[in-house]
A and B are shown apart, each in its own frame.
Chain A
């Protein structure tokens, strides 16, 4: 099925802030307050039926002067209908919080921990939001654009 993003906007109105479709990649930008409702609709509606969460990632728009600064990106896939949907949520630097999907998808647990580790975006309702790639002693979030390029935090050996 094509046109999922259009369908979402028809259903949710202003809660879907914008939609676009580049080369068949259908994308909808969801409002944070309606995000969980939209995700549940995407999962349970029998025409959309996206039963698989492929990936969660984020983009830091600091150097592009984005307002709000971060975009959290979710990739959904339907194994039964063989189509994909990309859902984005924009969050601000002052309040980088998104509802967690860990209860709905087990895979979201680790993916959200990775986004927390790399970008410092918190997931409300996550059962165990710890770092997953970096070590506990690490401070900061290395994929944020304001993380200093040459900053090293070695556990042993010379500090720079």
Chain B
């Protein structure tokens, strides 16, 4: 952690406000898992102790959109459920991020049919896409780290 390394013998460090807030935010990701399909099993596998997303500060899922920072959209989104997803997203307080988990949420996947939304980015903005059917846990962790990277780098709205 770059901030810790900068601490000298005097016991203090200097940083930029944006960087400090980014550091705090990226390690306190409270997720809202919007789980609709089989990808949910892989999400659970990643969240549990074998792969342990708590190492990244993302170990506390909140089942209220009001209390969460990152919307994990996990599984196929049909046109019928799409207004619900949009509403959940609207209920989240800023700052907020969205992760598209699995190929169905990214593009619709092989459900190129009347029932399925062809990528959730047609409804809500997406920050990180994790493809795969379902994605391996390593893949998910990679996506999570990319999200952390994005949170760290961005301009922090306070």
Interface residues of A (CB under 8 A from B): 133-135, 142, 147, 151-158
Contacts and interface: CB of A to CB of B under 8 A. Distances in A.
Contacts of B83: 155-156
Given A155-B80, A157-B123, 17 more contacts: A133-B80, A133-B115, A135-B79, A135-B80, A147-B114, A152-B118, A153-B79, A153-B114, A154-B79, A154-B82, A154-B122, A156-B83, A156-B86, A156-B123, A157-B117, A157-B122, A158-B122
A155 B122 contact: no
Interface in B79-135: 79-80, 82-83, 86, 113-115, 117-118, 122-123
A142 B111 CA distance: 14
Given A155-B80, A155-B82, A156-B86, A134 B115 contact: yes
A90 B83 CA distance: 38
B122 to A, nearest CB: 4
A39 to B, nearest CB: 31
B65 to A, nearest CB: 17
Contact of B114 (A152, A156, A157): A152
Contacts of B115: 133-134, 142
Contacts of B82: 154-157
Contacts of A154: 79, 82, 117, 122
Nearest to A158: B122
Contacts of A155: 79-80, 82-83
A135 B80 CA distance: 6
Contacts of A147: 114
Contacts of A156: 82-83, 86, 123
B80 A134 contact: yes
A131 B114 CA distance: 15
Contacts of B79: 135, 152-155
Nearest to B124: A157
A134 B82 CA distance: 12
A152 B112 CA distance: 10
